[in-house]
Chains A and B, each alone.
Chain A
Amino acid sequence: MIPLWADILIALMVVLGALCALIGAIGLVRLDDFLKRLHAPTKASTLGVGCVLIASIFYFTFLSRGVSVHELLITLLVFLTAPVSAHLLIRAALKDSMRNDRNLPPPPPPPNLLPPG
């Protein structure tokens, strides 16, 4: 039987995770250009996943009376990959925007290439 504190903790994490996911999704819908939108899900959702994973760790640890840690693997994977996704998406969006005359703000050139002064 799951102790009450764990029950509450799990419940909290579950709701928190879902809220994060929802906020990320709202951002995805509400924000008005791609670069802004990108911020919302890449992390809100990631955090949401983290919360649910914590809930899962606790839940299965108590359910099976053994430590459940494989959820950490997913966390590892998410943290490993999410930055790359975002990074590649920005590159793609900028290139696509350039190609199709869309309205994303182009990034400035790197400072070392700026004319001196």
Chain B
Amino acid sequence: MSLELLVALGVGVLTACGVYLLLRSRLFDVVLGLMFISYAVNLFIFFMGRLATGRAPIIQNGVPATLTSYADPLPQALVLTAIVISFGMTAVLLAIAVRGYAENGHDHVDEDGDRS
């Protein structure tokens, strides 16, 4: 098994887990699902810059500034942004979950979800 296949499988498993949880009926479980999806997406973005082992993009004197000497820094920067944003949005969704529970008396994602 190649490293590429391994990481691809890893992203796939995270995606599948996230998707399954996303489709649950309780908001907290949906948040869990979104967390997994966000892990998967972050890794997805990250791997779009290809795999690089032991080549952190910290520029060192005398090392040629190419993608063979350093990992691609751009996807890393994108992932950072994505992580932060999904972090903030998770906070919002959690607060909504709390508020919704207080308002509805249940934590179903639909307003009258527990009635049906």
Whether chain A touches chain B in the assembled complex (some CB pair under 8 Å): no
